[in-house]
Structure 1
Amino acid sequence: TWSWIIWQDGSINFDDQKKFIDLAADMGYDHALVDNWWDTRIGRDGMEQLADYARSKGVKIAVWYSSGGWWNDIVQGPTNLMSRPIPRKKEMKWLKDMGAETIKVDFFGGDKQETMRLYEDILSDAADYGISVIFHGCTLPRGWERLYPNYVGSEAVLASENLIFSQDFCDKEAFNATLHPFIRNAVGSMEYGGTVLNKRMGKENRHGNIRRTSDGFQLATAILFQNPVQNFALTPESYAEAPDDAIAFMKDVPTTWIETRYIDGYPGKYVVIARRHGDSWYVSGVNALDHPINLKLNLPMLQKGQTVEIYTDTPVDSLKAKKLAVKNPGAVPVTIHPNHGFVIVSRSEK
């Protein structure tokens, strides 16, 4: 869970972070991400207390850092800890002693050699302390997954925070979602921070920019956008107010995949992708066009007569999980309405 993405800077306080730790525990998630300003708004003693509280709930905290040093004018703290080797190693030891195993490092400047060296220095030092690393405000990853086992993923895309900053970005969310599987996410892990189930982009779900996409669309992006650690944009409000089937899906959705297949689509129009976790297949799609599309999908991973689950909604009906008997795996009929999406789940019977 990740408070900042919807509740923003005001949520970086001890009590709100406890709420998102509780939400992570309720969802069965591993971590709650504490974002920028924690050094001044919560403090180190407070972070250690949060880590202890999270541990009591079966959750761990992930911790945000600025990459910046003297050359970076970013004001969000903590700064000057990831940019130099001695403070960085000292910080890694503190994190390990506290039980924090993941950091999110933000605000990298350009692709100059010194910056590229900094990425690898952070990964190398973190690996020594058993700490995984997410990069944000960063460059496109080029092979770090194979170099560093503790590398988790990189943003390197106009990500979900822009839903908060701009109504225009909300209006174009579906269009952008049909680009990422073909372009950015085809290159490497993409830390997007999606699956927004709030109707409004603000605390209490009563103000802020308006989400134009359906709940079915949001569930589909949990499959379409690949990153081995997903910072989902769920909130206590969405937990209480979203459809029960949506929350049940988000409690169970995998974030790691061992096979991916392109099914159908065209950048900027629609996309259907299938991914496999263990012996279970998740087929997801979204529509960015201004009219419904009727597809007959060739899904050879399904079996004739097999019963699968489909999560979908319409402009009239809210999201529901329904059972579907597969008649012909070579032509599975699906209708996707504008700004809507679907997920078909073929679960392992083991």
Structure 2
Amino acid sequence: MTKHWVLIGLFALGAVQQTHAQANRLQSPDGRLVMTFSVNTSKPLSTQGSGQLQYSVTFKGKPIIDASAMGLALDDQLSLGENVTIADTKSSSGIDDYPLMFSKVSHVHDAYNVLSLTVREPGSNGHGRSLVVEARAYNSGIAFRYLLPAPPRGNTELRLRDEETEFRFSQDDTAWVLALPNYRSSYESEYVRYNLSALSNQGGVSSHFLIGMPTLLHQPGDAWISLMEADLEGNSSAYVTNPTGNWAGHMLRVKLSPRWDDPSFAVTGTLPHHSAWRVLGIADTPGELLESNLQTDLNPPSRVKDTNWIQPGKASWNWWVDNVNAKGESGNSQFTTETMKYYVDFAAKSGFPYFFLDAGWSGGDITKMNGKVDIPELVKYAATKHVKVWIWLYSTAVMEQMKEAFPLYEKWGVAGMKIDFVNRDDQEGIQFFYDVAREAAAHHLMVDFHGCHTPWGIMRTYPNVMSYEAVLGLENNKVGRRDSPVDRSVFAWTRALVGPLDYTAGAFDSQTEASFVARNASPQVMGTRAQQLALYVVYENPVPMVSDSPQNYEGEAAAAFQFLKDVPTTWDETRVLGGDVGEYSIVARRHGSEWYLGSTTNWTPRELKVPLKFLGNGNYTAEVYEDGADAATQPKHVNIRKASVASNSTLNLNLAPGGGAAIRFIPAK
């Protein structure tokens, strides 16, 4: 009889443990992703059944993230998460269904499941500190954030030193990382391939890298993973580092960008408070990560009621070619109102809605002109040509003068602002993005951030934020060799993960790797002309610049330039058809009834066979702009042809070294 009751007791205990485990478990709608929360009661600080809060992730039954610590370092207290019990869990589900303006898709419909986990520290009479973890699981990834409630009584001040979130990857994953020198940068550097263990041990000694978002990882045979963040409002940006210092460490840990005024803390304020989302895209292929809308899903809906004035479109630009004058005289830089009208005329002739006026029109006071370019006169002239003007601004001046400057720009009729050299993503730096977006929207101004942090989805909340730089762009060809087809083949899979990138493509003086010369006047670019065309499809950007001098698109270049006049800048649908990180990419995007395809390669020539199943029903005319047969030595040569195709067709593409192909698919009448 005793044995019988013991067995019943053991079965009952097992049932309770299983119920608890299920309560702490979150899975994606398709069941492939599972996130599990627990406490590690073996930690030295554990008391009364409490322990270190941790989570783990599996994908299709295989471990992706092993048990990884979670917590917040608040003021000088014990880390909140280091000694807790799981007090309560709540489950729910939902669907993110919303229009997305000026992006890789026009409408999003993503189902998700939610687990809200409340943990508490042991305390007298049950009044220990508490923390809520909100986690979501989509079919394309998982995300979680911390919610700090206001105490029922007492101090509501928030003083957050750092976040203690870990990502203990189950293998020594391959990672493409953006290593940055410190917390004050423009995110303009190469994404370099390392194994995770190399990030903590270089040359056989303990070493560390400060890594900016996003990070792309590959767990061979199991999954591709993107590490990102979303909804940064009220917070500082997150970096990651491998803190293990040994050759066996396969982990990353969050490091929050410290405040400039007091580096002892990352975030200050009042409770309640929520952190930014930590986002893990997880998929079978890197292309699925690029197609995902996780970041915008996790940002608040639009706060701009009337968006009719926000319009995408291509722009001419004066800076890349050093203000070449209307006569096209190389090296004769003339920063004057009359010269800028030349670029307006070019935009009008090409059917572009914008001209981007770069630095030089004002001094430190951005409410005044320095006499070189008369903005109101230029705007009025442009209006007669059905062109609008964007203006360049220095971020520090904007921080000091936006309240005075933005109403003035609205009065002048300026369309938007390219705000440069932000170079900060601490709490106040992130707030600057939101302040600019809000004030700009109030005065019908669009924004293109340069010298800045990578995107995190703010464009859903403020759709007047059109684009970001945060990439090692075309401008580097003016001074060195850091931008090449190799870098572009990496950015297509890394920087592109988080949204628009203002790479400033369109250079037509294409050179081989051997013939390229870095120079400020009459700048050149490595790779083929066809690759420059393809970048307008491969990279997402609703307001891309057509960067070269107007005369460089004339004569023999005019035929290839036609693609830049035709290609849209926003998309209803995006499909990543193939490729390999750092090697090549094939991306197809739909705008209305037309499809466009862009393909690029590194310095390796390729023969690609591209099935056209994405086209759907009906026949299409494919206008193909591809590398000429001699493009390996004559990279300016573009072969232009037409072909009748359908969804059962296969397109053969021959990419030269540093080459590409750009294709427009027009439904047959």
Residue 312 of structure 1 aligns to a residue whose secondary structure is strand
- 1:53 shift after superposition: 1.1
Matched residue type, 2:386: G
Q: 2:399 aligns with which of 74, 83, 95?
A: 83
Of the two, which has the highest radius of gyration? 2
Residue 409 of structure 2 aligns to a residue whose secondary structure is helix
Query: Which residue of structure 2 lines up, in the alignment, with residue 46 of structure 1?
Result: 374
1:12 touches 1:34 (CA, 8 Å); kept in 2? no
1:1-350 matched pairs, under 5 angstroms: 1-7=316-322, 10-40=333-363, 43=371, 46-68=374-396, 80=397, 82-84=398-400, 87-166=401-480, 168-170=481-483, 173-199=484-510, 210-290=524-604, 292-302=605-615, 306-314=620-628, 316=630, 318-326=637-645, 329=648, 331-348=650-667
Q: Deviations over 1:44-85 (max 9, x none)?
A: 9711111111111111110110111xxxxxxxxxxx2x113x
**Counterparts of 1:118 and 1:224, CA distance in 2:** 30
**Counterparts of 1:344 and 1:46, CA distance in 2:** 40
Q: Deviations over 1:243-295 (max 9, x none)?
A: 222121111110111111111111111111111111111111012133x2111
**Counterparts of 1:155 and 1:268, CA distance in 2:** 20
**TM-score calculated relative to the size of structure 1:** 0.87
Matched residue type, 1:26: K
- The change in CA–CA distance for 1:312 and 1:42 in structure 2 (over 3 A counts) is farther
Root mean square deviation of aligned Cα: 2.5
Q: Deviations over 1:105-156 (max 9, x none)?
A: 0111221111111111111100001111000000011111111021101111
2:451 touches 2:469 (CA, 8 Å); kept in 1? yes
**Counterparts of 2:373 and 2:599, CA distance in 1:** 45
**Counterparts of 1:169 and 1:109, CA distance in 2:** 20
Q: Deviations over 1:186-216 (max 9, x none)?
A: 21111111121134899xx996554332111
**TM-score calculated relative to the size of structure 2:** 0.47
User: Greater helix share, 1 or 2?
Assistant: 1
**Counterparts of 2:606 and 2:551, CA distance in 1:** 32
Residue 546 of structure 2 aligns to a residue whose secondary structure is coil
Aligned residues: 330
Query: Can you give the 5+ residue segments of structure 1 that lack an aligned partner in the other structure?
Result: 69-79
**Greater relative contact order (CA < 8 Å, ≥ 6 in sequence):** 1
**Counterparts of 1:295 and 1:254, CA distance in 2:** 24
Stretch deviating more after TM superposition (307-316 or 157-166): 307-316
Query: Which residue of structure 1 lines up, in the alignment, with residue 219 of structure 2?
Result: none
1:4 touches 1:12 (CA, 8 Å); kept in 2? no
1:197 touches 1:242 (CA, 8 Å); kept in 2? no
User: Greater strand share, 1 or 2?
Assistant: 2
Matched residue type, 2:545: N
Residue 344 of structure 1 aligns to a residue whose secondary structure is strand
Residue 471 of structure 2 aligns to a residue whose secondary structure is coil
- The change in CA–CA distance for 1:182 and 1:199 in structure 2 (over 3 A counts) is closer
Residue identity (%): 29
- The change in CA–CA distance for 1:209 and 1:193 in structure 2 (over 3 A counts) is closer
Query: Can you give the 5+ residue segments of structure 2 that lack an aligned partner in the other structure?
Result: 1-315, 325-332, 364-368, 632-636
1:14 touches 1:42 (CA, 8 Å); kept in 2? no
Stretch deviating more after TM superposition (37-46 or 145-154): 37-46
- The change in CA–CA distance for 1:273 and 1:241 in structure 2 (over 3 A counts) is same
Matched residue type, 2:654: T
